[in-house]
Amino acid sequence: MFVRLGAAICGAIVFISCSSMAMAESGIASVYVYSGQRTASGERVRPDGLTAAHRTLPFGTRVRVTNKSNGRSVVVRINDRGPFVRGRVIDLTPAAAHVLGFNGLARVTLQGS
């Protein structure tokens, strides 16, 4: 009986975590760069990399970011924490922002990749 209950609980946990990744999040993206410094995950910041900062997603998570104004999208890997400004949902490297076609701020949608 305990084995079945344990499997059911594990299945529920997997379902909950997978379903939260499938949900979309919308808001403002910003561009950030602290060249040469370390991210919250311990990596060196690379402005030419396709990485990003998010407040809660686990490090290593891949997220598709879509610019709502032009439809361009890019897949980035979360390796830092932030943004710490109300209304912003993700901080992108200059390279990722370039792919999306913006410099500064943009309205975006995030989806698990």
Measured distance CA(15)–CA(9) in Å, rounded: 10
pLDDT, averaged across the chain: 85
Annotation: CATH topology of 24-112: Barwin-like endoglucanases (2.40.40)
Measured distance CA(112)–CA(97) in Å, rounded: 18
Q: Hey, what's the torsion of the CAs at 95, 97, 99, 101, to 10 degrees?
A: -140
Measured distance CA(99)–CA(44) in Å, rounded: 21
- The 10s digit of each residue's pLDDT in 65-89 is 999 999 999 999 999 999 999 999 9
Residue 13: pLDDT band by 50, 70, 90 thresholds? very low
Measured distance CA(17)–CA(57) in Å, rounded: 11
Q: For residues 85 and 36, which has the higher predicted lDDT (pLDDT)?
A: 85
What is this structure's pTM? 0.78
Supply the Cα-derived Rg of the chain in whole angstroms. Answer: 16
Q: Where along the chain do its domains lie?
A: 24-112
Name the 3-class secondary structure at 32.
coil
Neighbours of 73 (CB within 10 A): 15
